[in-house]
Structure 1
Amino acid sequence: MEDKVFPVQLVVWSLRSVSRVILANNPVSGALALAALYWASPWQGVLGTVGVLASTFTALIIGQDSAAVTAGLHGFNGMLVALLIGAFSAAGDWFWWLLLPVCVGAAACPFLFSAMGSVLDRWDLPVSVYPFNTVITLYLLCTSTPPGALQQHPYYPHHLATPPGAVEVNATQLDAVQVLRGIALGVGQIYACGALGPSLLILASVVLYSPLLAVHAVLGSAIGTLAGVSMCVRASSLYEGLSGFNGALGCMAVGGLFYTFSWKTHLLAITTAFFSAYVDIALSNLMGTLGLPACSWAATLVFTVMLLLNGQTLAAYRIPIGQVMAPEHNLRASRSQWEAGNTSDRESTDV
């Protein structure tokens, strides 16, 4: 892309940023995911696009590493901030004043990404979506009102999150078809998308990048849903995919992305999915008392812990951050290549 004009380069960088949300690194996958967002909600699509551009331009202005910018590493956190601001807004679609916090929140992500990266790089850990989780939590705290208040925030009203453990009236049976539908929606909820068709298109974008990653996405969402059933979370969390997306993220990150795929790391990915789902339930119940969502704090924290595991058994499968690619490509590379830093045909990624 070096010889292309800047607008073309910007489009490719932005689409890579969109695909980073689902742990991919492919502009075509990003285009499919973005199309799914516009399909589900044109307003959400606009917010996501503004978030990516605001975050990417900020990274360019403050002089972040050009390789990281071109790889889309400075755009996906901003996009997630924009999508969650829109998803929790109570002002309805096409509330143009919402673009102000979207731009400010997205622009804050490169600063946090750079600052956190200087610390986490010492332990060979990805910055992941820590900037997104931090910014969206602070935004919702800034615009929240006390529980039971008669009036919402006058400028940026937003819906309050409900703890998943909240008991529903007469919710004694589950609809098996709706639960299965919720597993597919768990992949879409990574983008705060709760529509079935767009969620399947998002899953297709993962398949395009890596079929193995897609398998772990569905498996992790199913595990998260199972964990929700075991904890008797409210049915709407199961049906809308809210119980599954943290499990999907955790399973994808460990199941072949940061560890070479094998039966040992596959079991570790399943374990990560279970832990992510249960931690999400706990955090959601805790933060829900303040009307706040737990976002993807659970998956981010859990797979960070999993990457810190030591021991010869797992160390042999651990892939250095700068050498991570799609699971299928990771399988072709040997440990000696990683240690030698052979990056001639490889491209670093992040989560």
Structure 2
Amino acid sequence: MFVDQISLSAKRLSCGFSQVMLQENRLTGLLFMLGIGFNSWLMLACAVVGSCSSMLAAMMYRADTADLDRGLYGYNGALIGLAVSFYLPLSLSSVIILIVCSMLATVIQRLLVTVRVAPLTGPFVITGWMALLLAQWFDLNDTVLPIVGNDLAVTVFVDELLSEGAVQAISHGLGQVMFQGNTVTGLLFIAGLAVAAPKVALWGVFGSVLGYEAATLLQYPEPLVAAGLFGFNGVLVAIVLGDRFPNRFLLIAGGIIMTILITRGFQLLGITPLTAPFVLTSWIIFLLDCLSRTGKSRNKAAG
């Protein structure tokens, strides 16, 4: 019984990590966790705490067991854990913020589902901004946790091997979905997507490629482009729209470019974008598609 419970918890945790990129695959989740741990074991630990906190809140809310098994109540918490560990130093206050915001994300997710709005990473964006505001309120030092693993010989070797700006930036675009600016981590994320479905991996890479190329063409700040900060929202949009509108290439490309513009807008306003550009772009396209289908149905009925 105990072993079965551990196995179920491990499945929910790994699926929760895979759901960060909208996949339901235990191996994908494990590769994502491996990628994070390779870059920083401390960030991985915080992500696990966030995911478990979010799932605990879901169980307290008596969420559907099938949704828990699919990892649908783990990914927002994992992202909050990553965000808190990236932006704040590890302390009792930051851990409390991490746990509270992760649990609150579940409440927000259930509210969005109730009103029939696709949650995506919306709960993470809302609670992530709350976490940053709370950090300012408690006057926490805005420093980044040490990134364990960046000085490993294998990482240095791979980074030198892939020293071309475009290749590195594209890999970082995948990695930055989970706050990882590491080439090896990005490659592990691509492998994780490929395990779930090769087509999904291609869409993810395409989102990062187009994000890099468009940001370069628009002459956005080179350090931000190289870090993949204009790619990760495009990765998520490409995956979501590629699944929902597989034959509408121009729509998908337009969605990716929209995330780049929104990301830059947030930066100019001094607001941390997180995955808000992805969420806003997806919601706008979903709404327009819904209105379009509703209009066509009314026209047919009138005809």
Same fold (TM over 0.5): yes
Q: CA deviation at 1:138?
A: 1.3
Aligned to 1:141: 133
Which one of the candidate residues 103, 118, 122 is aligned to 2:99? Answer: 103
Give 1:83 deviation, angstroms.
0.3
Aligned to 2:265: 282
Counterpart Cα distance in 2 of 1:194 and 1:71: 28
Matched, 1:304 2:296: no
Please tell me the residue identity of whatever aligns with 2:171: A
Secondary structure of 1:64 counterpart: coil
Note closer, same or farther for the CA distance 1:26–1:285 as it changes in structure 2 (3 Å cut).
Answer: same
Alignment partners' CA distance in 2, 1:159 and 1:68: 35
TM alignment of 1:223-302, pairs within 5 A: 223-255=210-242, 257-259=243-245, 261-262=246-247, 265-286=248-269, 288=270, 292-302=271-281
Question: What CA distance in whole angstroms lies between the structure 1 residues aligned with 2:38 and 2:2?
Answer: 33
1:3 CA drift (Å): 11
Q: CA deviation at 1:284?
A: 2.0
Give the Cα separation in 1 of the matches to 2:259 and 2:218.
14
Contact persistence 1:228–1:281 (CA under 8 A): no
Structure with the largest fraction of helix: 2
Structure 1 residues 314 and 254: alpha-carbon distance in aligned structure 2, compared to 1, 3 A threshold = farther
Let me know the Cα RMSD of the aligned residues.
Answer: 2.4
Residue number in structure 2 paired with 1:46: 45
Deviation sequence 1:164-204 (CA, Å, 0-9, x none): xxxxxxxxxxxx92233111110110011111111110110
The CA deviation at 1:223 is 1.3
Q: Kindly tell me: are residues 100 and 313 of structure 1, through their superposed partners in 2, closer, same or farther at Cα, counting changes over 3 Å?
A: closer
User: Would the alpha carbon gap of residues 271 and 142 (structure 1) be closer, same or farther in structure 2, given more than 3 Å must change?
Assistant: same
- 1:284 aligned partner, one-letter code: Q
TM-score normalized with structure 2 length: 0.85
**Closer, same or farther in 2 for the Cα pair 1:9/1:235, shift >3 Å?**
same
Q: Distance in 2 between matches of 1:141 and 1:312?
A: 36
Query: Structure 1 CA distance, aligned partners of 2:225 and 2:17?
Result: 26
Aligned-pair CA distance for 1:103 = 1.0
TM alignment of 1:11-90, pairs within 5 A: 11-89=10-88
Matched residue count: 277
Moved more, 225-234 or 104-113: 225-234
**CA–CA distance in structure 1, aligned partners of residues 261 and 126 of structure 2:** 20
Cα distance in 2 for partners of 1:200, 1:83 equals 19
Residue matched to 2:164: 177
Report if aligned partners of 2:98, 2:131 keep a CA contact under 8 Å in 1: no
Aligned equivalents of 1:268 and 1:69: distance in 2?
Answer: 32
- Give CA deviations for 1:68-111 in whole Å, capped at 9, x if unaligned: 1111111100110110111112x3xx546532211111111110
CA contact (8 A) 1:29 1:209 kept: yes
- C-alpha contact 1:220 1:251 (8 A) present in aligned 2: yes
Distance 1:46 1:96, change over 3 A: farther
Q: What is the alpha-carbon distance in structure 1 between the residues aligned to residue 20 and residue 291 of structure 2?
A: 31
**Is the CA contact (8 Å cut-off) linking 1:185 and 1:196 kept in structure 2?**
yes
Amino acid at match of 2:249: H
After TM superposition, give the deviation of residue 313 of structure 1 in Å: 8.9
CA distance in 2: counterparts of 1:268 and 1:32, whole angstroms: 30
Structure 2 unaligned residues grouped into runs of 5+: 145-162, 295-303
Cα contact 1:187–1:217 (8 A) shared by 2: yes
Cα distance between partner residues in 1 of 2:42 and 2:293: 44
Contact 2:94/2:135 (<8 A) preserved: no
SS in 1 for 2:181: coil
Measure, in 1, the Cα distance between the counterparts of 2:131 and 2:92: 17
Contact 1:17 1:30 in 2 (8 A): yes
Deviation at 1:6, TM superposition (A): 1.5
